[in-house]
Amino acid sequence: MLCVTGNERSVAELVRRIESAPEVGLHEVRLDLLEGIPSGVCGRLPGREKLIVTCRPKREGGGWDGAEERRVRRLREAVEAGVGWIDVEGSTPGELLEELLGMPGPTRRIVSAHPAAGDGETALGVLARLGAHRAHVLKLALPIEDAADLAALRDAAAATRRKVVAIGTGPAGVLSRVAYRAFGSEWTYVAADERSRTAAGQWTLAEARRAGLDRQAPRVYGLLGGPAALRSPGPRVYNALLSRSGQSAAYVALPTSRPGPVLELLRAEVLAGLSVTMPHKEAVRDLLDEEAPSARRAGSVNTIVPVAGRLVGHSTDGAGALGALGGPAAVAGRRVVVLGAGGAARAVARALLDAGATVTLAARRSGRAAAVAEALGAGWVEWSEAAALPFDVLVNATPLGADGVSCPVADAATLAGRVVLDLVLDPPRTPLLRAAAQAGGRAISGLAHWAHQGAAQMRLLAGLALDPADLLRAAEAPAGGEG
């Protein structure tokens, strides 16, 4: 069930929002955000049986900074008006809280908590504390900065054995909002529109409907990576394409430093599959049950598909690089320098070697470059020597350039007449690519690689036949421009 919320400042705006979507299961009324709360306002609102009325204090992230007695009086008026629900914080002073919970009438009660980041109390501890009160539903909105913590949130909700709404707030917690049924939640909160979001990570009603959240549990795919996962075009582009495919499905970013708990969510079928990006492409290998030939040859994984209860790793990075460079024929017999020695560098170097290129690796950690080169049968040089090498193609598989300032090549003149592929996605036009273009080289954006590897990846994950050119156009379009 969907609960539509908003940040309306006037009663008129609130009424318009409720009347614009009468078919949804619930509407949240944020009294704390209204500019002045007219006496008896809840009795004048349409669809009272579908309303969740709350008046959240500033100590829990809301807008109310008045006296507790006045705040509780507003909620008491909502109960007297016969609204469907009230949401009252467990931190409300004891006598006032018990008064609200004990009032007669059909209004159901939610007891909630909205801890601040760094509070230190566990999800299980918060829900146990809320569970001491008489309530129909326990609601926890817990800040999530690492997606691995979503596993503990889900476990806590299950252990409570009460009706709950368990939300991981923030961009890293989106999975709990989209796969809310898998987290044991009775409903999920969605914003009326883009301007009405009341919390980070909240989807809009339109986004939720496109993914089918109002009809059934969607298949949810995720992007497992570091903080840069939040800047990937994947969620924006794939969610648009998945909705057009007719699937009830969604794609979310899962930034984490601990991939293990996220893979447990995949095993538990909370997730339907994973894309994997830096820095986890090699680390996840030990957490899988099986590797496809593409992953074994690449020595890294960028796609994880569950098959009959087993997690199988694949790699589409090498195929993506070849596609971006124009195919195997475009690199056969060419001299290629690959900068980096991580998972993406391994996969790209393997594919280039298989296509007949001569490959030399260079990395800031020379020992790492030497080990990877030996495993692949490629050459390697010290990082400081890479610029002096004769080459036809340069591939940057390091994060250098993601800050918009650093460039892995000091002398732009060495790029004249060369092909340069930079795997950095954001910014799409890195200092290296700008230098290559200015020197007369051919500059290929990381988005081209992303589009080619992504088309192969989504075929494995969701069975979609996507054209890399369409993916590239969607990725390059401004946010909101993909339809």
Given a contact cutoff of 8 angstroms between Cβ atoms, the answer to whether 214 and 207 are in contact is no
User: Given this model, what pLDDT does residue 483 score?
Assistant: 36
Task: pLDDT band for 482, please (50, 70, 90 cuts).
Answer: very low
Average pLDDT over residues 148-168: 96
| Pairing verdict, β 51-54 and 188-191 | unpaired
Single-letter residue type at 8: E
| Alpha carbon 295 to its chain's center | 24
Q: pLDDT for 192-212, tens place per residue? A: 999 999 998 999 999 999 999
Quick one: pLDDT band at residue 37, thresholds 50, 70, 90?
confident
List pLDDT tens digits, range 413-422. Answer: 999 999 999 9
Q: Is 281 a catalytic residue?
A: yes
* Residues sharing a CB contact under 8 Å with residue 127, sequence separation 6 or more, in sequence order: 138, 140, 156, 157, 159, 160, 162, 164, 166
Cβ 167 vs Cβ 138: under 8 Å: no
pLDDT digits (tens, 9 = 90+) for 57-71: 999 999 999 999 999
User: What per-residue confidence (pLDDT) applies to 480?
Assistant: 54
Kindly name the residue from 58, 139, 163, 281 that is annotated as catalytic. Answer: 281
Over range 96-100, report the average pLDDT.
93
Q: Are 123 and 160 in contact (CB under 8 A)?
A: no
Could you tell me if 442 and 415 are in contact, meaning their C-beta atoms sit under 8 angstroms apart? no
pLDDT at 472: 93
CA distance 458 to 251: 11
Asked if pLDDT for residue 271 goes beyond 60, the answer is yes
pTM of the model: 0.91
Tell whether the model's pLDDT for residue 388 goes beyond 90. no
pLDDT at 39: 80
96: exposed, middle or buried (Cβ count in 10 Å: 0-12, 13-18, 19+): middle
Largest CA distance in the chain: 83
Q: What is the DSSP string of 346-373?
A: HHHHHHHHHTT-EEEEEESSHHHHHHHH
Whether the per-residue pLDDT at 481 is higher than 60: the answer is no
Amino acid at 328: P
137/199 Cα distance (integer angstroms): 20
**Is the per-residue pLDDT at 405 higher than 50?**
yes
Q: State the Cα angle at 222 between 220 and 123, rounded to 5°.
A: 85
All domains of the chain in start order, with CATH = 2-216 (3.20.20.70), 242-315+451-476 (3.40.50.10860), 325-444 (3.40.50.720)
Q: What is the pLDDT of residues 425-455, one digit of tens each?
A: 989 899 999 999 999 999 999 999 999 999 9
Q: Which of 228-232, 242-246, 432-436 has the lowest mean pLDDT?
A: 242-246
DSSP letter string over 204-240? BHHHHHHTTTTTSPPEEEEEEESGGGGG-SHHHHHHH
Mean confidence (pLDDT) of the chain: 94
- Taking the C-alpha atoms of residue 405 and residue 253, their distance in angstroms, rounded to an integer, is 25
CA dist 306 and 236 (Å) reads 23
Which residues of 84-194 form beta strands (DSSP E)? 85-89, 108-113, 137-143, 164-169, 188-191
pLDDT digit string, tens, across residues 335-386? 999 999 998 999 999 999 999 999 999 999 989 999 999 999 999 999 999 8
Tokens 């790492």 locate to 368
Which residue reads 């589409």 in tokens?
316
Specify the pairing of strand 419-422 against strand 358-363.
unpaired
Half-sphere exposure of 317 (CA within 13 A, CB side): 33
Q: CA-to-CA distance for 428 and 431, rounded, in angstroms?
A: 10
The answer to whether residues 392 and 334 touch, using CB atoms and an 8 Å cutoff, is yes
State the average pLDDT over residues 258-264: 97
Q: How far apart are CA 220 and CA 198, in angstroms?
A: 23
